[in-house]
């Protein structure tokens, strides 16, 4: 439900003029902050771009740019829609320098709402005048996260530090945390990302160039974990259990789901026979799935003529087929996807999602996951997660893995 924030049409007029005041200077840098109920903040950088009197906002995370062109008025509110996710801003004007509002994002249990502020007179991400960095933490780190229930999980961090500026990401079995950006001030580490789905902030103390302690990881509305890290050039993630994820004598996959045009598509259709098939398990809520879709769209166009097909199976937040179609349609439009994207009608959080959709598997570990099927229709490999462009060399390795796997199956 759309909330009304503006007290009068006059305030909307002030905001409209303020947005378009960047016509002469092209770009203005703002600081945006998501305020969590626990008092922790997730900051990010917002550029206000105006070209030919049409305003768009650009969210920046390191080298990544997310352009928000769909900005419009609804009653007394300014609504900013994201191009991919079920995500939007509603903002109002308190005074010239601060716009307050909310970030709305679809969630498994309904609509998640978080308070949002945009500071038009601040061009920094965390703090305006950071102290000289005591240490340089560029390199690869073995990371241990501790959840609220005291269970732990392992990750690998890769950081690049230039003076106070810090960028990097965390690698996990399910994928990476994409383009993190922040600073080192004295012995303090601060990193964040906001892309319309991911809203993460990382804080920690740098003890020395080989040890990080007292870390706090904030995710979304309320999730938080402690973390520590030790520098280790050979740090590795836990082993991939995907080879064990197929039932013995499982046979061939057998499924039928509707595509975005309402047509039922089956893995047994003639168009997939005697072809190498890449089965992509995704959700339109998933940023790593977004990165994989961008890659697979291009990969499919280059390899279709070789006898390669791709099918995307979408597991959404809702069992509502029409709502799910609208969400997945954004993926198809954004990345010009030519392969079929099918709506399973089973939610990503359903404990029986595997049994209901792909009973030949023991468990769908995470999203994205990718299943490679040979020309005879048999599963040859299940690949969990996807390292996207934020991971640099690991992204190149990911692309090479796909190419080599498909070459092997074609032979």
**Between 77 and 229, whose confidence is greater?**
229
Closest by Cα among 258, 376, 377, 247 to 314: 258
Each residue of 81-98: pLDDT tens digit? 999 999 999 998 666 789
Whether residue 171 is predicted with pLDDT greater than 70 in this model: the reply is: yes
Please report which confidence band the pLDDT of residue 7 belongs to, taking 50, 70 and 90 as the band edges: very low
For the chain, give the mean pLDDT: 91
**How many Å from the N-terminal Cα to the C-terminal Cα in the chain?**
54
Q: What is the pLDDT, as a whole number, of residue 4?
A: 36
Strand 308-314 and strand 341-343: the pairing is parallel
Closest by Cα among 125, 219, 213, 204 to 172: 219
Indicate where the chain has its CATH 2.40.160 domain(s).
9-119
Whether residue 15 is predicted with pLDDT greater than 70 in this model: the reply is: no
Residue whose structure tokens are 């601040």: 122
Share above pLDDT 90 across residues of the chain, in percent, rounded to a whole number? 81
Which listed CATH number (2.30.30.90, 2.60.40.10, 2.40.128.120, 2.40.110.10) goes with 139-231?
A: 2.40.128.120
Indicate where the chain has its CATH 2.40.128.120 domain(s).
139-231
Half-sphere exposure of 15 (CA within 13 A, CB side): 26
**281 and 371 Cβ atoms separated by less than 8 Å:** yes
**142 and 156 Cβ atoms separated by less than 8 Å:** yes
Name the architecture of domain 241-410. 3-Layer(aba) Sandwich (3.40)
Q: Name which CATH class applies to 9-119.
A: mainly beta
**186 and 195 Cβ atoms separated by less than 8 Å:** no
Whether residue 127 is predicted with pLDDT greater than 50 in this model: the reply is: yes
| Predicted TM-score of the model (pTM) | 0.90
DSSP conformation class of 354? H
Distances from the Cα of 304 to the Cα of 88, 278, 332, 337, angstroms? 36, 11, 17, 13
Q: What is the pLDDT, as a whole number, of residue 78?
A: 84
Please report the DSSP string for 196-227 in residue order: SS-EEEEEEEEEETTEEEEEEEEETTTEEEEE
Phi/psi of residue 347, nearest 5 degrees:
-75, 155
Indicate where the chain has its CATH 3.40.30.10 domain(s).
241-410
**229 and 215 Cβ atoms separated by less than 8 Å:** yes
């Amino acid at each position: 439900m759309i909330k009304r924030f503006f007290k009068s049409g006059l305030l909307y007029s002030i905001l409209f003029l303020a947005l378009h005041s960047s016509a002469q200077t092209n770009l203005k840098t703002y600081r945006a902050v998501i305020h969590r109920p626990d008092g922790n903040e997730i900051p990010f950088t917002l550029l206000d771009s105006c070209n030919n009197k049409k305003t768009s906002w650009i969210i920046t995370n390191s080298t990544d740019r997310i352009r928000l062109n769909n900005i419009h008025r609804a009653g007394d509110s300014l609504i900013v829609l994201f191009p991919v996710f079920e995500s939007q801003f509603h903002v109002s004007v308190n005074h010239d320098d601060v716009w307050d509002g909310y970030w709305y994002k679809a969630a498994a249990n309904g609509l998640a709402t978080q308070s949002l502020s945009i500071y038009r007179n601040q061009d920094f991400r965390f703090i305006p005048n950071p102290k000289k960095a005591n240490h340089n933490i560029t390199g690869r780190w073995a990371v241990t996260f501790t959840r609220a229930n005291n269970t732990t999980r392992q990750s690998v961090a890769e950081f690049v530090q230039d003076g106070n500026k810090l960028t990097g990401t965390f690698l996990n079995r399910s994928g990476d945390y994409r383009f993190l950006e922040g600073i080192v001030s004295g012995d303090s580490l601060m990193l964040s990302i906001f892309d319309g789905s991911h809203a993460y902030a990382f804080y920690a103390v740098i003890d020395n160039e080989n040890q990080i302690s007292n870390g706090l990881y904030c995710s979304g509305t309320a999730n938080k974990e402690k973390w520590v890290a030790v520098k280790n050039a050979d740090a590795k993630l836990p082993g991939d259990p995907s080879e064990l994820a197929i039932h013995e004598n499982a046979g061939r996959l057998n499924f039928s789901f509707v595509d975005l045009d309402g047509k039922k598509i089956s893995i047994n259709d003639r168009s997939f026979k005697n072809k190498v098939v890449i089965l992509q398990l995704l959700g339109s809520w998933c940023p790593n799935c977004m990165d994989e879709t961008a890659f697979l769209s291009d990969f499919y166009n280059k390899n279709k003529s070789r006898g390669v097909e791709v099918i995307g199976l979408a597991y959404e937040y809702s069992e509502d087929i029409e709502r799910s179609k609208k969400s997945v349609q954004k993926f198809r439009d954004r990345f010009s996807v030519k392969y079929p994207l099918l709506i399973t009608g089973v939610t990503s959080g359903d404990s029986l999602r595997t049994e209901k959709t792909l009973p030949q598997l023991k468990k769908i570990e995470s999203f994205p996951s990718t299943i490679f099927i040979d020309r005879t229709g048999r599963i040859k490999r299940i690949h969990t997660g996807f390292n996207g462009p934020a991971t640099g060399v690991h992204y190149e390795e990911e692309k090479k893995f796909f190419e080599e796997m498909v070459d092997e199956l074609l032979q």
